[in-house]
Structure formats: structure tokens, C-alpha cells
């Protein structure tokens, strides 16, 4: 059994220390007084856990159980263990979910590439117009388009990585 620490980030309960215990095909969410707040199977966790990764240090988990929505900060190790638990779900590794993630990755990567190239092309076009104009030396740099394109590219690549991880999990499940 793995016990992981979670810290509430809701305004009213900010800083409360909760725990989540992961054992095989069940997870128990424990309140600060060690009472069970909720229990989940991987399939339930897939639909009721929202894993939010900000950067290397920022990892949040939102857990929904009935009318309750709890928001937690989790250390990277705890976040990773919760993510692994959620990925054990058959839904997470289903062909429909894999196809959806792959499609999202392709669309975001293609769109990011197009927006980035459009920003570069517009900047280059404006520069060339200014360079060949008599007395004109001002031109626009389309930073917004280039930054948006790079962000979409990174997001698309992230989805490709997630697709690959889930594909490996699905292949292991099929082999067993």
C-alpha cells in the first residue's frame, strides 16, 4: 500500500494535510483525522480526478466525489503515482481514448506549425517591404503568432508523449 500526502489548496481549507492510499485497484482519500472521505477504482478515478501539471514543481489534483470537489497540491512523486493509478483504468487505455489523444496531438502540432510559420512569414514579408522601400526602415515582428505557434507545438508534442505512454500501457494490458 502506498500512502501519499496531499495539501488542500481551497481558500477555506488551505494547508490541510490529507492522504491518498493506493492499493492495487483501489484508492482511499483520507481526511486529516484519517476518516475515509471517498474511495475510487481506477475507472472512477479516470472520470473524477483532474490532474493539472503547471511546471516541474507545480502539480495539482482536483477530485470530485458526489457534490464535493476537493483541490490539492501534490508533490511530483505523489502526482506521478496518482497518474499511474488513473492510467490503470481500461477507459484510459481504450482505443477511443488513444485515438482522441493522438488526433489532438496531430491537430495541435499541425496548427502550431502553421501559426509559427505564418508569424515568421509575415515578419519576413514586412521586413522585406521595409527594406526595399525608400526611406522606410520600420517593420513589424509578429511575436504573438510565433509564441502562440510555439505553445501549440509544445502542447501537441506533450500529447504525443502521453499517447505513447498510454499506448505502452494498453499494449501491456493486452499482452496480459
Name the band, by pLDDT with cuts 50, 70 and 90, for residue 119: very high
What per-residue confidence (pLDDT) applies to 176?
47
Structural domain of 45: 2-87
Q: Can you tell me the mean pLDDT for 51-57?
A: 62
The percentage of residues in the chain with a pLDDT greater than 70, rounded to a whole number, is: 85
Q: Which of 53, 87, 121 is the last residue of a domain?
A: 87
Same domain (yes/no): 65, 100: no
Same domain (yes/no): 66, 44: yes
Give the pTM.
Answer: 0.50
Residue 141 has pLDDT above 50, yes or no: yes
Q: What is the mean pLDDT of the chain?
A: 82
Q: How many domains does the chain have?
A: 2
Q: What is the pLDDT of residues 61-75, one digit of tens each?
A: 888 888 888 888 887
Same domain (yes/no): 81, 99: no
Sheet strands (E) in the chain: 2-8, 17-23, 26-30, 36-40, 49-53, 59-65, 68-74
Name the band, by pLDDT with cuts 50, 70 and 90, for residue 92: low
R_g of the chain, CA atoms, integer Å: 22
What per-residue confidence (pLDDT) applies to 58?
59
Q: Which of 24, 57, 87 is the last residue of a domain?
A: 87
Amino acid at each position: 500500500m502506498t500512502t501519499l500526502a496531499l495539501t488542500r489548496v481551497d481558500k477555506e481549507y488551505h494547508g490541510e494535510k490529507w492522504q491518498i492510499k493506493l492499493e492495487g485497484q483501489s484508492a482511499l482519500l483520507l481526511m486529516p483525522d484519517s476518516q475515509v472521505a471517498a474511495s475510487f477504482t481506477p475507472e472512477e478515478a479516470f472520470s473524477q480526478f483532474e490532474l493539472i501539471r503547471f511546471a516541474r514543481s507545480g502539480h495539482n489534483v482536483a477530485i470530485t466525489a458526489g457534490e464535493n470537489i476537493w483541490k490539492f497540491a501534490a508533490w511530483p512523486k505523489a502526482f506521478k503515482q496518482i497518474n499511474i493509478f488513473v492510467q490503470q483504468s481500461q477507459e484510459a487505455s481504450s482505443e477511443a481514448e488513444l485515438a482522441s489523444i493522438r488526433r489532438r496531438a496531430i491537430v495541435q502540432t499541425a496548427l502550431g506549425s502553421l501559426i509559427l510559420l505564418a508569424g515568421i512569414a509575415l515578419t519576413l514579408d514586412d521586413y522585406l517591404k521595409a527594406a526595399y522601400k525608400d526611406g522606410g526602415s520600420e517593420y513589424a515582428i509578429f511575436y504573438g503568432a510565433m509564441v502562440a505557434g510555439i505553445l501549440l507545438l509544445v502542447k501537441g508534442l506533450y500529447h504525443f508523449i502521453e499517447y505513447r505512454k498510454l499506448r505502452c500501457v494498453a499494449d501491456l494490458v493486452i499482452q496480459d
